[in-house]
Amino acid sequence: MKIRFEKAKMLEKLVRAMGAVSSKNTHPFTEGVLLETAGDRLKLSTYDMEKSVRASIEAEILIEGGCVINAQRLLSIVRILPENEITMTVDDELLVTIQSGRSSFSLHALAAKDFPQMPVIVGRESFTMEQCVLKKMLAKTAHSIAQIDQRPVLCGAFFKLEPDNIKVVTCDSYTLSVCDYKTPVLSMIENLERTSFIVPGKTVAELSKMLSDEEGQFLTIMVTAKNIIFNMENLVFSSRLVEGEYIDYDRLIPKDQPIEAIMDAAAFTAALERAALISEERIAGTAKNYVKLTLKDGIMQVSSRSANGNIIEEVPAEQIGDEIVIGFNCRYLIDTMRAIESEKVRVKLITPFTSVTFEPVEDEEKDDRYLYMVLPLRMKE
């Protein structure tokens, strides 16, 4: 095989293809990227047995062929090459030579025929949405995806499709994030094979890197019984879905909360971040981040005391209802507040022992709605 391509185009697609490269060193092929010529394009494929990426770039095909190269090594080489035009040659012994300007690299490859067979996924229907919308929804909810849990369904993001609304829900047993986005795109969801599904947390993380921030860039999403496929321009990302039924999250959200505080979101977040400098300490090898909130006389007091010292911050609040003292893991509050972009935040409470909800105070005409819930901690005075 002998090909010539532009560094910038290869780098863009190779970075995205890394989303389906295994880091567990279980098999040399799952650490590699399959390169194959197809007409006037070079196809790139990666597959870690759970996720796959298929992409392609324009290339000058001098000699057709294919091979598998260690993806991370190839990415490092392409990044550091001095010129935009790159020539790659693969001989009969699978020795790869990569040239650009006066630089030349040689490395060994594997046979393309030995690359694991990637699943062929066929679905009946799909739907389309803006990449920037999906990226924002994931960014606002990803912090509540459980990293490790006995319930695998919590290690992913739950999607629910309705005729004119798409919902994303995440929960890690301590925090809950719910995002609703009004969109007419889903008017034909009755033809979809599934209208609710759970996307693995690792897939969410990689997809977020691939999605564009620019308005007007769309992707097509196809869902089957066990897989989901995201189709973007010259790039297809597929993943297995998490099997199982998601929790009844709506039952967990408090409905009648008589105590309310509306605050400047940036000021409240900054107070929590400063409190975290004091609150974090290690007890029996485990990091603890206790913070106390006291709502009284139109002031939300943020305080913490640990072996590191103590801190008291005061944030003005529009208060409704009685005064209350309640404790939290400071890290959960910070993650929640960083997901809220509005100028004001509404905090709603019942007792020191019941879940607290956080909502951005925004224009009612906006298409997206967010709700966050955090479980309190019992404070040790």
HEC secondary structure over the chain: CEEEEEHHHHHHHHHHHHHHCCCCCCCHHHHEEEEEEECCEEEEEEECCCEEEEEEEECEEEECCEEEEEHHHHHHHHHHCCCCEEEEEECCCCEEEEEECCEEEEEECECHHHCCCCCCCCCCCEEEEEHHHHHHHHHHHHHHCCCCCCCHHHHEEEEEEECCEEEEEEECCCEEEEEEEECHHHCCHHHCCCCEEEEEHHHHHHHHHHCCCCCCCEEEEEECCCEEEEEECCEEEEEECCCCCCCCHHHHCCCCCCEEEEEEHHHHHHHHHHHHHHHEEEECCEEEEEEEEEEECCEEEEEEEECCEEEEEEEECEEECCCEEEEEEHHHHHHHHHCCCCCEEEEEECCCCCCEEEEEECCCCCCEEEEEEECCECCCC
pLDDT at 185: 54
Predicted structure pTM score: 0.91
Give pLDDT tens digits along the chain (381 positions).
Answer: 999 999 999 999 999 999 999 877 678 899 999 999 999 999 999 999 999 999 999 999 999 999 999 999 999 999 999 989 999 999 999 999 999 999 999 999 999 999 999 887 776 678 888 999 999 999 999 999 999 888 999 999 999 988 788 999 999 999 999 999 987 655 455 566 678 999 999 999 999 999 999 999 999 999 888 999 999 988 999 999 999 999 999 999 999 999 999 999 999 999 999 999 988 765 544 556 889 999 999 999 999 988 888 999 999 999 999 999 999 999 999 999 999 999 999 999 999 999 999 999 986 777 789 999 999 998 765
Q: What is the tens place of the pLDDT at every residue in 129-153?
A: 899 999 999 999 999 999 988 899 9
Structural domains present in the chain: 2-114 (3.10.150.10), 126-249 (3.10.150.10), 253-374 (3.10.150.10)
Q: What is the tens place of the pLDDT at every residue in 84-118?
A: 999 999 999 999 999 999 999 999 999 999 999 98
